[in-house]
Amino acid sequence: MEFALETLLFLFFAAAIAGFLDTLAGGGGLITVPALVVAGVPPLAALGTNKLQSSIGSGTASFLLFKRKKILWPEIKALMLMAFIGSIIGSVLVQFINTKALGFIIPLVLIIIAAYFMTAPYLNLETDKPRISDRTYKNIVVPVIGAYDGMFGPGTGSFLAVSGVSLRALELIKATATAKPLNFATNIASLLVFIVAGKVMWVAGFAMMAGQMLGAWLGSHYLFKVNPKILRILIVTMCLIMLGQYGYNQFA
């Protein structure tokens, strides 16, 4: 498939914006997947190409966070492995099922996440005591989110951040930072499956990779400077926008 220069520029800027927002609040796939579809890429190939460009975005953000020692390898490597495994499973499954089957699950999850971040300050849900064990989080929660990312993807960063806050009692900024290498692991795993399946548009993907690097670089510099309340608003906004997008697709 050939792409005009203006189309590649459109994809570059879409990926740059997505990379910036994804580093701060997750949900960048909401921008990149529709952008690829608008550019004429078939839906399944859009998912695969999205993994190519999002891998460089999450990889860039993760590298910078590791470099600045905001996250530590010994603390994250086991979680990354489980995220990788979950994403492999989800990516294989999506090759054989109708992705519309996710239509009734995703809006429900988005509503829950948006409601949580809007009500948490008033319900005092953020406590210092983890609600589940580290083992349960590693062996169940992380692989499930990884499988979702392998099957579809948008919102994975938000889901990982939410799970860290609500289940492991992490501060929002810490949970958001921790989500980056986990998201990188799910992206790489899914990308490998889509490459084997021949569902990656390389030219479009490389143009978006450049945009993702720029956006992720900018986002990583703001992550630990942004007011947690602003980050909370960004996550809620991304969840509600994704919910609206799904609703529009259902009734359009």
Query: Of the segments 46-55, 58-67, 180-189, which one has the largest average pLDDT value?
Result: 180-189
Tell me, what's the pLDDT at 236?
67
Tell me, what's the pLDDT at 205?
92
Whether the predicted pLDDT of 35 surpasses 60: yes
**DSSP letter string, 136-171:** HIIIIIHHHHHHHHHHT-TTHHHHHHHHHHHHH---
Give me the residue spans of the domains in the chain.
Answer: 5-251
Interval 121-144 mean pLDDT: 80
Whether the predicted pLDDT of 122 surpasses 70: no
Whether the predicted pLDDT of 121 surpasses 60: no
Average pLDDT, the chain: 81
Residue 107 CA to residue 18 CA, distance in Å, equals 20
Tell me, what's the pLDDT at 145?
95
- Helices 106-123 and 156-168, packing angle to 10 deg: 40
Interval 19-48 mean pLDDT: 78
pLDDT tens track for 78-108: 999 999 999 999 999 988 876 566 556 656 6
Interval 213-218 mean pLDDT: 84
Query: pTM for this one?
Result: 0.77
Whether the predicted pLDDT of 211 surpasses 60: yes
- All residues at 6 or more sequence positions from 183 whose CB lies less than 8 Å from its CB, including other chains: 26, 54, 58, 62, 83, 149, 156, 157, 160
Tell me, what's the pLDDT at 203?
94
Whether the predicted pLDDT of 152 surpasses 70: yes
106 or 152: which leads in pLDDT? 152
Which tokens in the block code for residue 166?
């609500």
247 or 31: which leads in pLDDT? 31
Which tokens in the block code for residue 173?
């900024």
Whether the predicted pLDDT of 143 surpasses 80: yes
**Percent of the chain at pLDDT above 90?**
31
- 122-157 exposure pattern, b = at least 16 Cβ within 10 A, e = fewer: eeeeeeeeeeeeeeebbeebbbbbbbbbbbbbbbbb
